[in-house]
């Protein structure tokens, strides 16, 4: 019996396992809720894979390290996370967020795409291989954290703590997170953009005031915050002196890889509600090799319905910067603090840093990248190689701390609606994810080795 036959035969059992995991309310930041996810996954690792499991205390939610020994000294690490975003507006869901529901070829539930379905597919892929072959040809380590949706705040310290013990002798890290190509093809990603996130709060008083009593007397915090933002960004260009240092030039962009990527301008226009879409090369250039300065939240004044004539005394903006190439987070943060130095010193502005995740790029040779792509294609029929993930995952912990190459292989469909209502995972994505996982553990030893 081959992998696909075994998966097909045991699909009902696999779906039941997924439903159990989705039913657990493991909302990120709620440590009490997260314990149920830890307990269930520890049981899965022990029962299904006969793994050696260690629950690692961190400064927040615990991490899980599960090891399954193989017949060689080669070791691959699979990373995933068990925490989820909160479900948000329940009225926007067509079914209960924490009860897996199947309809129209999709499984629905909070966290089913990000990351429970992908994590379970990886576990079941290893299980599939073991059931058919009894032993793995290499050592497998699962590193599963519970704080990814909080920015993986303790992951770096945890990996550093374990690098000479539980995570010693790893040859390759594989991140199972993100989404497949919009074309529906599976993806091998070679890097990801970094993230510098922060929030600014402007203060002009201690309480809101009636505009008829304090108009022209009390400064408006929202107007003040706008002036600060204008200082940081003008005509679409970030004004911090070192912000663009290290951004790849056009000569440094791998246009050959971009040329092989799928591109459907009509589908992109529909998805994002755009009147016009950039050309293929400009589209991927912007997504993968240009930084952003994104205002993702602005809060001030009377935001509720109706009309309220007040002068807001406080205004807050939340900003995420997606970073590329060799952009330096310390240099950008230093520039930001310098640009706002007078207001920070006076207390008129408060700055809170919400995320510092460096850019990550794999160091695998081209031949090994192609070999990995072949494995995915063999399991699914097609694969695309993306030089850079437009989003951010904490892959730097593997390259910079564990000192090993890393690639990202997502198992979730592109339209999974992660972080949004009606998050979903297609039945096909779940099945092919298991197939890819089984293929990887069966053949990775041929490409990772002990030498690069």
Model pLDDT, residue 449: 66
The overall longest dimension of the chain from CA atoms, in Å, is 81
Q: Which bin fits 193, alpha (ψ -120 to 50), beta or left (φ > 0)?
A: beta
- Cα–Cα distance, 33 to 20 (Å, whole number): 14
> In this predicted model, what pLDDT tens digit does every residue of 126-184 receive, in sequence order?
999 999 999 999 999 999 999 999 889 999 999 999 999 999 999 999 999 999 988 89
Topology, domain 194-247+291-357:
Alpha-Beta Plaits (3.30.70)
pLDDT tens digits, 27-60: 999 988 999 999 999 999 999 999 999 999 999 9
- Collapsing DSSP to helix, strand or coil, 296 comes out as strand
Collapsed DSSP state (helix, strand, coil) of residue 288: helix
Where along the chain do its domains lie?
3-192+359-446, 194-247+291-357
Going by their DSSP bridges, the two strands 139-145 and 75-81 should be labelled as parallel
Q: Can you spell out the DSSP letters for 132-201? A: HHSS-SSEEEEEEES-GGGT-TTHHHHHHHHTTTTTTT--EEEE--SB--TTS-EEEE-EE-EEEEEEEE
d(CA 125, CA 433) in angstroms, rounded, equals 8
Q: Is 425:412 a contact under the CB 8 Å cutoff?
A: yes
- What's the average model confidence in pLDDT over 344-350? 97
pLDDT at 452: 38
Q: How many CA atoms lie within 13 A of 293 on its CB side?
A: 15
DSSP state of 249: P
Structure tokens at 266: 């009509």
73-129 tens-digit pLDDT: 999 999 999 999 999 999 999 999 999 999 999 999 999 999 999 999 999 999 999
The Cα-based distances of 218 to 12, 210, 355 in angstroms read 65, 10, 33
The answer, as to whether pTM is greater than 0.85, is yes
156-169: b (≥16 Cβ within 10 Å) or e = bebbebbbeebbee
Topology agreement, domain 3-192+359-446 and domain 194-247+291-357: no
Q: Residue 450 — pLDDT band, cuts 50, 70, 90? A: low
pLDDT at 447: 86
Nearest to 438 by CA among 376, 385, 370: 376
Question: Does CATH place domain 3-192+359-446 in 3.30.420.40?
Answer: no
66: β partners = 53, 142
pLDDT at 1 over 90: no
Annotate 227-245 with DSSP letters as a single string. Answer: HHHHHHEETTEE--TTTTT
């Amino acid at each position: 019996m081959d992998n696909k036959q075994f998966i097909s035969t045991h699909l009902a059992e696999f779906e039941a396992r997924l439903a159990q995991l989705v039913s657990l309310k493991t909302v990120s930041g709620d440590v009490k809720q997260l314990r149920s996810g830890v307990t269930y996954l520890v049981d899965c690792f022990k029962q299904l894979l006969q793994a050696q499991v260690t629950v690692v205390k961190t400064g927040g939610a615990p991490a899980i390290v599960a090891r399954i020994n193989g017949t060689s000294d080669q070791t691959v690490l699979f990373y995933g996370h068990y925490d989820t975003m909160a479900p948000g507006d329940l009225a926007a869901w067509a079914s209960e967020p924490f009860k897996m529901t199947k309809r129209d070829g999709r499984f629905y539930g909070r966290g089913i795409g990000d990351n429970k379905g992908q994590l379970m597919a990886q576990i079941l892929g290893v299980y599939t291989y073991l059931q058919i072959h009894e032993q793995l040809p290499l050592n497998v380590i699962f590193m599963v954290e519970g704080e990814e949706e909080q920015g993986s705040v303790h992951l770096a310290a945890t990996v550093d703590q374990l690098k000479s013990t539980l995570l010693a002798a790893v040859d390759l890290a594989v991140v199972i997170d993100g989404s497949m190509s919009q074309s529906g093809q599976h993806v091998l990603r070679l890097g990801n953009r970094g993230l510098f996130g922060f929030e600014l709060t402007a203060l002009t008083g201690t309480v809101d005031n009636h505009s008829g009593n304090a108009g022209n007397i009390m400064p408006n915090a929202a107007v003040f915050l706008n002036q600060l933002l204008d200082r940081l960004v003008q005509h679409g260009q970030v004004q911090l002196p070192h912000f663009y240092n290290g951004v790849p030039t056009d000569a440094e962009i791998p246009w050959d890889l971009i040329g092989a990527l799928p591109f459907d301008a009509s589908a992109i226009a529909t998805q994002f509600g755009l009147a016009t879409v950039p050309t293929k090369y400009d589209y991927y250039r912007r997504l993968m090799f240009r930084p952003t300065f994104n205002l993702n939240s602005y809060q001030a004044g009377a935001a509720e319905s109706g009309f309220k004539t007040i002068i807001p005394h406080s205004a807050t903006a939340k900003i995420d910067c997606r970073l590329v190439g060799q952009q330096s987070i310390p240099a950008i943060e230093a520039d930001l603090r310098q640009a706002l130095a007078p207001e920070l010193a006076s207390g008129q502005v408060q700055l809170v840093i919400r995320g510092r995740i460096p850019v990550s790029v794999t160091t695998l040779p081209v031949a090994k990248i192609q070999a990995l792509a072949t494995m995915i294609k063999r399991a699914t029929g097609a694969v695309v190689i993306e030089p850079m993930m437009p989003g951010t995952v904490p892959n730097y912990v593997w390259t910079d701390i564990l000192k090993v190459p890393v690639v990202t292989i997502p198992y979730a469909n592109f339209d999974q609606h992660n972080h949004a209502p009606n998050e979903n995972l297609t039945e096909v994505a779940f099945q092919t994810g298991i197939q890819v996982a089984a293929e990887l553990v069966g053949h990775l030893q041929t490409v990772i080795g002990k030498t690069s």
